[in-house]
Amino acid sequence: MGGAGLEAQQGPADLVVTNARIYTADRARPRVQALAVRDGRLVFAGSDIEARVLAGPTTEIWDLDGATVIPGMVDAHAHLVSLGTALRTVDLVGTRSYEEVIARVAERARTMPPGEWIEGRGWDQNDWANTAMPTHQALSRAVPDHPVYLRRVGGHAALVNARALALAGITRETADPTGGRILRSADGGPTGVLLENPAFNLVRQNIPAPSETELRERITLAIQTANAHGLTGIHDAGVGRDTIAIYEALAREGSFSLRNYVMISSADPKLDSVLKNGPRLAQSERIWVRSIKISADGALGSRGAALLEPYSDDPPNLGVLRASRDSIRRVAAKALAYGFQLNVHAIGDGANRHALDAFEDALRERPTADHRFRIEHAQILDPKDIPRFAELGVIPAMQGSHQTSDMYWAVDRLGYDRALGAYAWRELLDTGVIIPNGSDFPVESSNPLISFGAFVTRQDREGWPPGGWFPAQRTTREEALYSMTLWPAVAGFMEEETGSLTPGKYADFVVLDRDIMTVPPEEIRETRVLRTVLGGKAVFSATE
């Protein structure tokens, strides 16, 4: 059988991969046995016999003994610095009670001088027997001498203790900042729970910023973690210019082993100057800056997602709308004018409609065929809004693992009828859109195979619920593979460079210990990454 390749006259390959089950995510040639790499790019995809012809005396040859190879996986919505920070702070993921949270924080306090800040992340009151939002008093009694700042798992709520409240000057008289909320007890006093960045900032402005050295260490740790999970790329959601400068410096030094499609935060005070300078593409073949992120609402778990009708378990609460339709329209207009993409965080059906309306306004003023505007999350959609994505050319960037984390309580928040429009992957795909998949790490695990499995099964690790949660919304395995490979590439204007194992593209691929396209569904989450390859070089190996 004939393979797909580039001219062999350019010299022998640097690397030949043979004896593998290779899924290319290229519909013209979906399965091959072998690959050949030269100068960091694929030059051949086809049979073992043909690939070996491209080997020379210095060519490295990997015989994979039948292992499975897929394109490098890309997390289409992630937070790299936040992952590095989470790996360095108190880990509260999986805590089963508020008491366990307090115990972990108190343990850390015993190792730190009084007065130093303690940070943590990952608590989720929905996992506790008492699912009400916590209040600070028990934490304040257990840890009185250290200011404490603990982000909820979704990142849209934070719990602080009395010491932190005092340093921030938050009292019963403190007004809610625009776009944020201070939760209060019946007597009006702060409970210690804050919703959204404007409220967080009242506290965070008192936390010493990490040094550049510490930031570099956190970024490096996050990259290593991502590579170990088979990630060769991410879409980094909401980053400031200073962090981008560190990324680019690490890339120039050869210390950034991810392809990072960066969404610059709309809150950056120098956003206009960034836009006027135009997109920054392929910095050291690692960093792309051509999109903007703005947030329209909060998260479902903290009841901050903006809904069209009140929360079923918390009337008359409609959530938190963080950006007006007109403010989104104005940013969209700037994006169109300067050749940038706009990505709007919208979880609730109210925020999603708001974002779609703003996109429609901006595109009416400045028609643009290939804008590839995105809605990040698109978790709860009114049925009337589902076809609007395809009609407007808007990409829903969604996270499979959010569905499997939220399904235990989503019906309580939304009611059964509204939950029918939650995580509506099948309905969206059937309108003709693509869905780039992700994790929102560190909100969820940075293992992309969890979201791959969620797309296929809509079940948790134990196989619950039987048949899947609203199983009509499941995807095929081929769609799930595309959601982690080619579709993120398209969503980032990078489909000519990455996303499939097609000659001419970057040689980014992953070797797995089992065939995720054929194994029983319950085995998908057990799959191990054996090797992660970026530009033809291994950046992770399970044997090292």
Per-residue tokens: 144 = 């009185």
Distance, CA of 299 to CA of 195 (rounded, Å): 9
pLDDT band of 384, cuts 50, 70, 90:
very high
Can the peptide bond before residue 436 be classed as cis, meaning omega within 30 degrees of 0?
Answer: no
Per-residue tokens: 33 = 């046995």
For residue 398, the 8-state DSSP code is B
**Per-residue pLDDT tens digits for 94-118:** 999 999 999 999 999 999 999 999 9
Distance, CA of 500 to CA of 509 (rounded, Å): 9
* Residue 498: predicted pLDDT: 98
In which region does residue 256 sit, left (phi positive, over 0), alpha (psi from -120 to 50) or beta (all else)? beta
For the entire predicted model, the pTM comes to 0.91
pLDDT band of 6, cuts 50, 70, 90:
low
Q: How many CB atoms lie within 10 A of CB 208?
A: 7
* CB 71 within 8 Å of CB 500: yes
* Residue 1: predicted pLDDT: 45
- pLDDT cut 90: percent of the chain above it: 95
Distance, CA of 79 to CA of 85 (rounded, Å): 10
With 90 as the cut, is the pLDDT of residue 7 above it? no
* Residue 544: predicted pLDDT: 66
With 70 as the cut, is the pLDDT of residue 75 above it? yes
With 90 as the cut, is the pLDDT of residue 56 above it? yes
Residue that has been written with the tokens 């402005």 in this structure? 205
* Residue 10: predicted pLDDT: 74
* Residue 2: predicted pLDDT: 59
Least confident interval from 267-276, 414-423, 515-524: 267-276
What average pLDDT does the segment 305-325 reach?
A: 96
* Residue 374: predicted pLDDT: 99
> E-strand spans in 153-283?
157-160, 181-184, 190-195, 231-239, 259-265, 280-283
With 90 as the cut, is the pLDDT of residue 4 above it? no
**Per-residue pLDDT tens digits for 144-193:** 999 999 999 988 999 999 999 999 999 999 999 998 999 999 999 999 99
Distance, CA of 365 to CA of 422 (rounded, Å): 31
What average pLDDT does the segment 458-481 reach?
A: 97
Is residue 18 exposed (0-12), middle (13-18) or buried (19+ Cβ within 10 Å)?
buried
* Residue 73: predicted pLDDT: 99
Distance, CA of 475 to CA of 427 (rounded, Å): 10
What average pLDDT does the segment 28-34 reach?
A: 98
Q: How many CB atoms lie within 10 A of CB 392?
A: 16
* Residue 354: predicted pLDDT: 97
**Per-residue pLDDT tens digits for 203-227:** 999 999 999 999 999 999 999 999 9
Cα 481 versus chain centre, distance: 16
* Residue 112: predicted pLDDT: 92
pLDDT band of 543, cuts 50, 70, 90:
confident
- pLDDT cut 70: percent of the chain above it: 98
* Residue 5: predicted pLDDT: 66
With 90 as the cut, is the pLDDT of residue 8 above it? no
The pLDDT mean for the chain works out to 96
Any residues with CB less than 8 A from the CB of 304 and at least 6 apart, and which?
Answer: 156, 157, 181, 195, 196, 297, 298, 319, 320
Backbone angles phi, psi at 496, to 5 degrees: -85, -10
With 60 as the cut, is the pLDDT of residue 93 above it? yes
* Residue 57: predicted pLDDT: 96
Beta-sheet pairing, 181-184 with 157-160: unpaired
* Torsion from C-alpha of 420, 425, 428, 429, nearest 10 degrees: -150
